[in-house]
Amino acid sequence: MEEASNQNINNLPEELLLRILTFLPTLDSIQTSLISQKWRPLWSRVPSLNLPFELFPSYEPPLDTRQFFAEFIDRVLILRSNSPIHTFRLSFIYHDHYGSHVDSWVRSAITHLHARELHLDFFIHKDFHDEETLNHKYDFPFSVLRNGYVENLCVTRCDLTLPAKMSTMRFCSIGSMYLDQVYLTDHIMSDLILGCPNLEALELQNCWGHHHLKICSTRLQKLVLGYFYDSELQETLVIDCPNLFSISFDCCAFDKFVLKNASSLVEFHVDIVHLIDGSYCYWSKVVRLLGQATNVKHLNVQNWWFKFLTSKDPFPKSFMLHNLNLLELRTGFTQYDLVGMAALLKLCPNLETMILQYLFKIGEDVIRRVTK
């Protein structure tokens, strides 16, 4: 039975076998070379490299694990053919000792393997890191992207080293960018947008170093902002993207929000955690942006509408969301919640679908969320 099963696997077209291997970590795909002669060279032709440190066999002491992992990647890149890949995905506990290793991996992925997607994650989970490793950050050499074809760039917990003339250079292949736990000054943000003229999707999570963050682009279509908490710094966020169709605010605590040229905006998402100080204040600042985005068709929001619409500064009486046809509302079902829900529905005369997500609360604090 086992022999027949292996024979059936071996009879599959090579294209299908390669497709199967793309879903495996590279270490596992290499191990499949033991199945038969047909499988032996396949791992080197898989159109992706998936190199997760957390799935690599552990050794004692832990430092040996990092060393063996680095040597493993070095060998993989030497033995692999130079056929182009679609995705290069790396997670690693970075230390300055491995800086030259990571540099060579990144350059190989970009310049030799011509990766279309580059994912670099230097924060795996808090259980993998200690105080020493958290003090070491990889300096990502952004200029190396000029020698490749990266379309989707995702980096977590590293510093961006931009070329001196970034604003005048053109990284035209980059269409999507995800930055998490990245030092992001106002100047760096401006240079990134100017240097990536074809950027259409941008997601910023847990970034810091900015004071008056301006996201201004005629190309950008989707923007996601998450976990901006330094409100005591009186930070300002200005968004001026005339072709933006989707925007999402997740735990954003800017002192001032400004939205300009939002006539193309049709998706609006806001989620401000109840447990942070001033939650309603930040929620109301974001929701007021709907006054500049009256063409929104899909709204995903929490139900603080009773408090907002009975405040001293609600929307003008003429304000309506005439184009809204899909509403996702996270709400409780107290008397105030229901009144707020009814008041919101009056602003949406053409609503077709409403999805309710129930919030379990202790007092005013949300402890968990269950979709109803």
Give the pLDDT band of residue 261 (cuts 50, 70, 90): very high
Give the pLDDT band of residue 264 (cuts 50, 70, 90): very high
State pLDDT tens for residues 285-320.
999 999 999 999 999 999 999 888 888 888 888 899
Asked if pLDDT for residue 230 goes beyond 80, the answer is no
State pLDDT tens for residues 18-31.
898 999 999 999 99
Per-position DSSP letters for 61-124, written without gaps between them: SHHHHHHHHHHHHHHHHHHS-----SEEEEE----GGGHHHHHHHHHIIIIIS--SEEEEE---
pLDDT of residue 128: 66
What average pLDDT does the segment 35-45 reach?
A: 86
What average pLDDT does the segment 63-85 reach?
A: 91
Angle between helices 62-79 and 99-107 (to 10 degrees): 30
pLDDT mean across residues, the chain = 88
Asked if pLDDT for residue 132 goes beyond 50, the answer is yes
What average pLDDT does the segment 220-243 reach?
A: 87
pLDDT of residue 362: 40
Phi, psi of 118 (to 5 degrees): -125, 115
What average pLDDT does the segment 142-163 reach?
A: 95
Asked if pLDDT for residue 255 goes beyond 90, the answer is no
pLDDT of residue 363: 45
9-13, 154-158, 199-203: the lowest-pLDDT one: 9-13
Per-position DSSP letters for 128-169, written without gaps between them: G--HHHHT--EEEEGGGGGGS---EEEEESEEEE--TTGGGS
**Omega prior to 349 cis, within 30 of 0:** no
Taking the model in full, what pTM does it have? Answer: 0.89
pLDDT of residue 270: 94
Give the percent of the chain with pLDDT over 90: 62
The 3-state DSSP class for residue 267 equals: strand
Asked if pLDDT for residue 364 goes beyond 50, the answer is no
Helix (H) or strand (E) holding 269: strand 267-271
pLDDT of residue 369: 39
What average pLDDT does the segment 72-98 reach?
A: 93
Decide the pairing of beta strands 87-91 and 48-52: parallel
Asked if pLDDT for residue 355 goes beyond 60, the answer is yes
What average pLDDT does the segment 235-257 reach?
A: 94
Asked if pLDDT for residue 356 goes beyond 90, the answer is yes
What average pLDDT does the segment 63-92 reach?
A: 92
Helix (H) or strand (E) holding 215: strand 212-216
pLDDT of residue 366: 39
The 3-state DSSP class for residue 315 equals: coil
Write the CB contacts of 354 (distance below 8 Å, at least 6 apart in sequence): 326, 327, 328, 329, 345
pLDDT of residue 129: 65
pLDDT of residue 202: 99
Write the CB contacts of 131 (distance below 8 Å, at least 6 apart in sequence): none
Question: What residue has token string 């990536």?
Answer: 196
pLDDT of residue 360: 59
pLDDT of residue 232: 56
